[in-house]
Structure 1
Amino acid sequence: MGPLGKGVKDISKDVNASCIKGIGFDATCSLVALNDNGEPLSVSPSGNNDQNVILWLDHRAIEETNFINSLNHPVLKYVGGKISLEMETPKLLWLKKNLKERCWDKAGWFFDLPDFLTWKATGTDSRSLCSLVCKWTFQADPKGYTGWSKSFFEEIGLSDLASNNWHKIGSHWQEPGRLVGSGLSDLAAQELGLDPGTPVGTSMIDAHAGGLGMIGCLAEGVPSDFSSRLSLICGTSTCHMAVSKEPLFVSGVWGPYYSAMVPCYWLNEGGQSATGKLIDHIIDSHPASITAKQQAGDMHIQTYLGLTLESMAKRQKLPSVTMLTKDVHVWPDFHGNRSPIADPSLKGMLGNVAHDQLQWPHGLT
């Protein structure tokens, strides 16, 4: 379990293992490759088996993504009309085209990262509808077909994944939160410092776990109906998540996904890639970054910059720090646009244009 096991052990020092009634995993929707023995299998041209995970924001599969979208298969209507190169199917196709002998032909399993953690903890090859429906083009519909679309995989050139009842990418699936196998295996329990058999729930993608926690909150003035709420989950990227009782098809917006976040509800997801990470990137790549971090000392750089901006606004007698940048304009899609444009090739821009020189559309001022 590595660092994960160490973290759980640190917590269990103060909590008796018998008090832990269940655990679950969430993680980014990154692609994990393993051989037939469950050992790491390189997804890198270097052949380093320690590099067996393709990060969700990896853009290597742009050609494969464009090819899949050009076919306009019916399953794409469940991803807003276009598959994203952040999803797993284009990455699988890239591996087959570029690392066939080194990776593809030797692969025993391909997991979404949260499902890999569940498999590692239980030894049970069970997949979460959250990952499969949102990132793998798996179909789930209570009034229609539930399962893998064989025609889709045949059309894009990945029909070999259907062998042995789709073993490599998932023969058994469950809704998030369902009990997986017999709980923690003996080995995993030892590594985590917990009791063998401790229940393990079916995993979720990280943002979707946050979305479930947010959309399920009850507070004064908040409608009790899930379908009237919107969750905004911020981290490395930003996800806007809403559920509905009936499927809603919106061009450029991911989904609808059945039971991917809230059981028996359809999920739609918009958002922007790499927002939190983009803030880090802009700060780290700025010429004044080193000096600012030295001046910040033990203070977090964003806290330091926020206080600096407040001081600047006060000196200039401005009513708000936002007035400091009234002539600075940002096109924020530095790592492509996730929704609603769904164009991963877009790049961001920073510009300084006086407000009165802007040409606003439709007479806006």
Structure 2
Amino acid sequence: MHYYMGIDVGTASVRAALVDQNGKVIVQAEQPIQIWEPQPDYYEQSSADIWAACCTVSKKIAQTVDLSNIRGLGFDATCSLVVLDVNFEPLAVNAEGVNNRNIIMWMDHRAVDQVDRINQTKHGVLNYVGGVMSPEMQPPKLMWLKEKLRSICWEKAGHFFDLADFLSWKATGATTRSLCTLVCKWTYSAETGWDDCFWQQIGLEDLTVDNHSKIGNHVLCPGSCVGNGLTSIAAEALGLSKGIAVAVSLIDAHAGGLGVIGVDVRGCNLPCETKPITSRLALICGTSSCHMGISKNPIFVPGVWGPYYSAMVPDLWLNEGGQSATGKLVTGLALSNSLDDLAKLYLATVQAIALGTRHILETMQKAGHQVDTLFMCGGLSKNLLFVQMHSDISGMPIVLAEEVESVLLGAAILGAYASGDFKSIQEAMEKMGKIGKVIHPDLKQKRFYEHKYKVFLKLVEHQREYRAIMQNI
């Protein structure tokens, strides 16, 4: 039996799993990682702390099988920014000059002023992020570092990595970047590469020199083999064998999509059964919800990130919708706090999330996506009320993966492909992904939710009006 290791670096912990060639998770381990919040909306981490956690979980699970049977390693991580100096040592991203804190986390919003100025440029690269860039992407964070920490950080910086790419560098010594991270978070184009005019326009022309060495000039598709595999130093630290294949990495949500969207559904009587994979939408439900839709040709969807070429599935375009801090808003709260009211509030929250998903789905369909089946994974997919509500409100069947840990499976699929045991990512997805439950919509509820959705759209419209009023203060 061949095995593959997937390592997932989430917001607050690192998880690892050993997965066999049939997609079964054999064993897994978890290790917490530290977060610093020096002030509101500032979130920092340590690349040394994260790598140490990766080594801890890897050693725990590697000892459970014969090392010679572990054939490949794949990483995924949050889209956080790692800063290293010219000697690849950690470099401070804080005014205190604490070099150990060298990561600006994905959820950090310190660069809101910078992202506003980027959006005011109306540059063409913004067309590929739904028209508006987020402060969670890397260009505004890089602007912030240059403007606020020029002497502490910017002038000493030698390398800027997305966290997932930092991990593959740490494992192999190769500065290869993932097409997933650069296309989704850095404005890189799979077709034309870096747009130097954009960097110059936002005052970061420094990044265009020396063939873009600080931000990456060797870019490969996810799952490709990085360098010469695991170095002897990394192998000892991780408790693995030197030279095993290390895959080009993915952002964590994209790994979840990879782990669930390609499962074989033959014989399940689903609308997507005889159609291409582009008829499927992956819904990764965790702290936030991500909606991953793929297409053969680029589709531009207002307010939805992408289209990103080969960012998740090779040779296909990706659009990514999302709901941050899922379920945060509910309208119509009552003053009472009885158990019945709590139950109603809970139900309303679940409905609101599902109605939001339908809104994203319909916006993608209007732009050209032809989705007819949802594939769901993540923590909330364990909640059958949440799943059934999504099915009822979208009117579509929902496929749940047999393996709940689809993000870890997705990372392991990368390692499986890099090892050469599968001829394509798609083959690995199909053979290692397994279908679990299938939830169908309750058609008796259709009329009720059609009316509920009209109310939801009115609330969205009103909310935009309220925001516009408050912006005039």
Place the TM-score, normalised by the shorter chain, in its bin: 0.7 to 0.9
Query: 3-state SS of the aligned residue for 1:25?
Result: strand
Q: 1:234 is matched with which residue? A: 285
Cα distance in 2 between the residues matched to 1:226 and 1:210 = 15
Look up the match of 1:253.
304
Residue 152 (1) aligns with residue 218 (2): no
Percent of matched pairs sharing the same residue? 53
Secondary structure of the residue that 2:247 maps to in structure 1? strand
Match of 2:211 in 1: 165
With over 3 angstroms needed to count, the CA separation of the structure-2 counterparts of 1:240 and 1:361, relative to structure 1, is: closer
Equivalent residue of 1:236, what SS?
A: coil
Deviations 1:241-298 (A, max 9, x none): 000000001111000000000000000001022338x69xxxxxxxx9xxxxxxxxxx
Q: How far, CA to CA, are the matches of 1:331 and 1:231 in structure 2?
A: 19
- 1:236 CA drift (Å): 2.2
Render the CA deviation track for 1:38-92: whole Å, top value 9, x for unaligned.
1100101111111100010100000100000000011110111111111001100
What is residue 326 of structure 2 aligned with on the other side?
A: 275
Distance 2:126 2:294 in 1: 19
* C-alpha spacing 1:360/1:192, structure 2 compared with 1 (3 Å): closer
Distance 1:327 1:17 in 2: 50
Aligned-partner residue type, residue 267 of structure 1 = L
Partner of 1:350: none
2:86 matched to which residue of 1?
Answer: 36
Is 1:182 matched with 2:228?
yes
Q: Are 1:85 and 2:135 counterparts?
A: yes
Identify which of 96, 106, 126 aligns with 1:76. 126
Is residue 2:126 matched to residue 1:95? no
Find the partner of 1:202 among 236, 248, 272.
248
Give the equivalent residue in structure 1 for 2:66. 16
What corresponds to 1:283 in structure 2?
A: none
Q: Distance in 1 between matches of 2:161 and 2:177?
A: 8
Other structure's SS at 1:2 match: helix
The residue aligned with 1:105 is 155
- Distance between the aligned counterparts of 1:183 and 1:175, measured in 2? 16
Find the counterpart in structure 1 of residue 75 from structure 2: 25
SS in 1 for 2:145: helix
Deviation at 1:17, TM superposition (A): 1.1
Equivalent residue letter for 2:87: N
Report the AA paired with residue 78 of structure 2. Answer: T
Residue type matched to 1:275 in 2? T
After TM superposition, list the pairs within 5 Å mapping 1:27-66 onto structure 2: 27-66=77-116
Instruction: Rate the CA distance shift 1:184–1:360 in 2: closer, same or farther, 3 A.
Output: closer
Q: CA deviation at 1:360?
A: 5.3
Looking at structure 1, the residues matched to 208 and 125 of structure 2 have their Cα atoms a distance apart, in angstroms, of 16
Aligned residue among 159, 165, 174 for 1:115? 165
SS at structure 1 position matched to 2:65: coil
Cα distance in 1 between the residues matched to 2:164 and 2:197: 27
Write the letter of the residue equivalent to 2:289: T
Q: State how far apart, in whole Å, the 2-side matches of 1:218 and 1:99 are.
A: 50
Q: Distance in 1 between matches of 2:89 and 2:107?
A: 24
In structure 2, the residue corresponding to 1:33 is in which secondary structure? Answer: strand
Q: What runs of 5+ residues in structure 1 fail to find an aligned partner?
A: 280-287, 289-308, 333-338, 342-358
Give the counterpart letter for 2:89 in structure 1. E
How far the C-alpha of 1:225 sits from its partner, in A, is 1.4
Match of 2:262 in 1: 216
Deviation, 1:331, is 8.7
Alpha-carbon displacement from aligned partner over 1:155-175 (angstroms, at most 9, x marks no partner): 111111011100000010000
**1:118 match: secondary structure:** helix
CA distance in 1, matches of 2:352, 2:161: 34
> Which secondary structure state, in structure 2, belongs to the residue aligned with residue 210 of structure 1?
helix
Distance change >3 Å, CA 246–CA 327, structure 1 → 2: closer
Q: CA deviation at 1:13?
A: 1.4
Shift of the 363–4 alpha-carbon distance from structure 1 to 2, 3 Å rule, reads: closer
Q: What CA deviation, in whole Å up to 9, does each residue of 1:15-44 have, x standing for no partner? A: 111111000100000000000111100101
1:324/1:134 Cα in 2 relative to 1: closer, same or farther (>3 Å)?
closer
The alignment partner of 2:92 has SS state of coil
Deviations 1:315-336 (A, max 9, x none): x9xxxx854667899998xxxx
Describe the shift of the 1:15–1:156 C-alpha distance in structure 2 as closer, same or farther (beyond 3 A): same
Cα shift at 1:362: 9.0
Question: What residue identity is the alignment partner of 1:120?
Answer: K
Aligned equivalents of 2:158, 2:93: Cα separation in 1 = 13
> What is the aligned partner in structure 1 of residue 175 from structure 2?
125
Letter in 1 for 2:260: M
- Report the CA distance shift for 1:360/1:119 in structure 2 as closer, same or farther (over 3 A): closer
Distance 2:122 2:325 in 1: 27
3-state SS in 2 of match to 1:230: strand
Residue aligned with 2:209, SS: helix
Change (3 A) 1:331 1:96: farther
Kindly tell me: are residues 80 and 362 of structure 1, through their superposed partners in 2, closer, same or farther at Cα, counting changes over 3 Å? Answer: closer
Distance 2:136 2:77 in 1: 14
Query: Distance between the aligned counterparts of 1:189 and 1:198, measured in 2?
Result: 9
After TM superposition, list the pairs within 5 Å mapping 1:282-301 onto structure 2: none
Following superposition, the deviation at residue 180 of structure 1 comes to 0.3
Aligned residue pairs, count:
300
Distance 1:103 1:330, change over 3 A: farther
Partner of 1:305: none
Supply the distance in 1 between the matched residues of 2:349 and 2:325 (Cα, whole angstroms): 21
